């Protein structure tokens, strides 16, 4: 315990503090002695309590020192903002400042107020240099995706401000013949290169400057593929018009000197059909396994539904004085006489009855019956009956009665579970019907209001 003591150089101090606490009558610090004794049966509870006390004091001291250091650092970094009744103003281009201050009045409670101080403004030659630098930034920003002002074919960006400055920008004279308000170029108006002048109004507080710069608009060039398709469509339309009275439509063999060929689009669906066939073949085995698994689940559910009836009949017959084999054959006979739909559990019982008639050991028949059923309840029944024959059991009837009671309770719980699932499945249709009823009522009402 002493090896991992936090900051070992504090240990002597901590031990002295713990001794002082004991002198002043402080007990069970930090935890009760009995608690430590229960946790370490073979250890010395007094020593463990003293160790815990020292560690606790050490952690308290560490936290106190850390809090003092952090507070001192924050205080040192929080320099006074008011100097001789003045607040420092940030330099030009650094943005405005906000100060949270308190207003103190004699005889009144201090009131908190936020004082916003704008940045220092440019003046004189410095102001002109500031505007020139802003104009250069603006010119680059306006061009957006265009390479230069000598060849503008893409959308321009008519910004309303310049990043990093308080300057506001407006565009008073945008020529609507060539530009939309969004900055997009009216392509129909640019049939050949044209020079257009743009004017920007830059506002910096009370100072305003107007800057004009020309841009050369050019028609947006088509991509090679788009131009080829356009020319080809023109040739196809021309051929369609010229050969309207002919039974044949001649496909062009060249586009602007470039030879071209034609072929039918592949419509052969055979590969896709073969792929679908392979997919179907691959899905057969999983589908079969899923089907078998579903049937096995239904079989198990049916057998569990029949189990309470079978075990109850068996208990009644055995209690009435019949042997296990006699009760077994009686249940099988009643089932065979009904000649109704085949049920898995009774069919397994019939098979077991035939095995007994063919001379198979009764105990083995019961064990095999449980194994074949594969359901825990039937496996348990088979083991009970087999053990009764092998070792004898005076309380077989009591065990079977308890099994019958548990089976009935299990069936009741299963019925409730299935009812809950059915109710949950009905929620969506019921909600849909509710929405339909609301629609039938509300739609005519709204229509009548509208009329």
Q: Residues 67, 128: one domain?
A: no
Q: Give me the long-range contacts of 26-33 (CB less than 8 A, separation at least 24).
A: 29/53, 29/56, 30/56
Q: Residues 196, 313: one domain?
A: no
Q: Is residue 260 within 8 Å of residue 240, measured between CB atoms?
A: no
Q: How far is residue 288's CA from residue 277's CA, in Å, rounded to a whole number?
A: 17
State the pLDDT at residue 42: 47
Where residue 168 falls among pLDDT bands split at 50, 70, 90? confident
> Where does a domain end: 169, 191, 217?
217
Q: How far is residue 165's CA from residue 135's CA, in Å, rounded to a whole number?
A: 11
Q: How far is residue 314's CA from residue 331's CA, in Å, rounded to a whole number?
A: 8
* Cα 61–Cα 65–Cα 71 angle in degrees, nearest 5: 145
Q: Residues 301, 395: one domain?
A: yes
Q: How far is residue 213's CA from residue 419's CA, in Å, rounded to a whole number?
A: 80
Structure tokens at 63: 């936290």
> Where does a domain end: 162, 194, 217?
217
Structure tokens at 295: 């049937």
Q: Residues 315, 376: one domain?
A: yes
Q: Could you report the per-residue pLDDT of 367-392, keeping only the tens digit for each?
A: 999 888 888 888 888 888 888 887 76
Average pLDDT of the segment spanning 288-312:
84
Structure tokens at 372: 């074949």
Helices (H) and strands (E) in the chain, counts: 11, 9
Asked if the structure places residue 183 within a domain, the reply is: yes
Q: Residues 322, 405: one domain?
A: yes
The pTM assigned to this predicted structure is 0.39
Q: Residues 308, 419: one domain?
A: yes
Asked if the structure places residue 90 within a domain, the reply is: no
Q: How far is residue 288's CA from residue 266's CA, in Å, rounded to a whole number?
A: 36
Average pLDDT of the segment spanning 291-320:
86
Mean residue pLDDT of the chain comes to 78
Q: Residues 58, 139: one domain?
A: no
Number of domains in the chain: 3
Residue 335 neighbours by CB distance under 10 Å: 20
Asked if the structure places residue 429 within a domain, the reply is: no
Q: Residues 420, 296: one domain?
A: yes
Where residue 354 falls among pLDDT bands split at 50, 70, 90? very high
Q: Could you report the per-residue pLDDT of 207-241, keeping only the tens digit for each?
A: 888 888 888 888 876 555 666 777 778 888 887 88
> Where does a domain end: 30, 46, 71?
71
Asked if the structure places residue 87 within a domain, the reply is: no
Q: Residues 301, 379: one domain?
A: yes
Owning domain of residue 49: 2-71
Q: Residues 420, 322: one domain?
A: yes
Q: Could you report the per-residue pLDDT of 417-431, keeping only the tens digit for each?
A: 777 777 777 777 887
Asked if the structure places residue 323 within a domain, the reply is: yes
* Residues constituting the chain: 451
Q: Residues 48, 169: one domain?
A: no
Closest to 134 in 3D by CA, of 163, 171, 158, 173:
163
Q: Which residues have C-beta within 8 Å of that of residue 359, sequence separation ≥ 6?
A: none
Asked if the structure places residue 352 within a domain, the reply is: yes
Asked if the structure places residue 110 within a domain, the reply is: no
Q: Residues 33, 128: one domain?
A: no
DSSP of 193-246, one letter per residue? -EEEEEEEEEEETTEEEEEEEEEEE-PPPPPHHHHHHHHHHHHHHHHHHHTTTS
Asked if the structure places residue 108 within a domain, the reply is: no
């Amino acid at each position: 315990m002493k090896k991992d003591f936090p900051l070992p150089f504090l240990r002597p101090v901590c031990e002295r503090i713990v001794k002082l606490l004991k002198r002043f009558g402080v007990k069970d610090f930090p935890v009760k002695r009995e608690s430590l004794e229960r946790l370490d049966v073979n250890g010395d509870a007094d020593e463990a309590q003293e160790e815990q006390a020292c560690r606790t004091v050490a952690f308290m001291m560490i936290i106190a020192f850390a809090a003092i250091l952090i507070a001192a650092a924050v205080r040192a970094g929080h320099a006074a903002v008011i100097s001789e009744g003045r607040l420092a103003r940030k330099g030009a281009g650094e943005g405005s400042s906000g100060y949270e201050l308190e207003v103190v009045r004699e005889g009144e409670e201090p009131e908190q107020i936020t004082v916003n101080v704008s940045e220092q403004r440019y003046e004189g030659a410095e102001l002109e240099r500031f505007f020139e630098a802003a104009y250069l930034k603006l010119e680059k920003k306006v061009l957006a995706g265009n390479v230069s002002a000598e060849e503008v074919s893409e959308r321009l960006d008519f910004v309303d401000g310049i990043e990093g400055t308080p300057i506001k920008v407006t565009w008073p004279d945008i020529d609507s013949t060539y530009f939309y308000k969004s900055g997009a170029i009216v392509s129909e108006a640019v049939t050949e290169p044209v020079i257009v002048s743009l004017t920007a109004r830059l506002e910096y507080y009370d100072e305003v400057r107007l800057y004009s710069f020309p841009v050369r608009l050019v028609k947006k060039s088509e991509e090679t593929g788009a131009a080829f398709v356009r020319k080809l469509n023109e040739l196809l339309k021309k051929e369609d018009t010229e050969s309207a009275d002919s039974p044949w439509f001649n496909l062009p063999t060249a586009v602007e000197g470039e030879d071209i060929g034609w072929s039918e689009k592949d419509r052969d669906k055979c590969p896709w059909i073969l792929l679908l066939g392979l997919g179907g073949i691959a899905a057969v085995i999983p589908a079969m396994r899923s089907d078998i698994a579903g049937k096995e689940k239904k079989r198990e559910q049916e057998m569990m539904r029949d189990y309470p009836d079978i075990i109850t009949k068996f208990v009644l017959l055995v209690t009435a004085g019949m042997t296990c084999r006699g009760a077994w054959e009686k249940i099988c006979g009643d089932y065979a006489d009904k000649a109704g739909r085949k049920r898995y559990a009774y069919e397994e019982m019939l098979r077991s009855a035939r095995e007994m008639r063919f001379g198979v050991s009764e105990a083995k028949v019961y064990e095999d019956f449980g194994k074949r059923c594969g359901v825990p309840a039937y496996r348990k029944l088979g083991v009970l009956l087999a053990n009764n024959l092998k070792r004898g059991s005076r309380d077989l009837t009591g065990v079977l009665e308890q099994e019958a009671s548990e089976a009935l309770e299990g069936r009741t719980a299963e019925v409730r579970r299935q009812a809950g699932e059915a109710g949950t499945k009905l929620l969506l249709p019921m909600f849909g019907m509710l929405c339909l009823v609301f629609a039938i009522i509300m739609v005519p009402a709204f229509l009548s209001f509208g009329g």
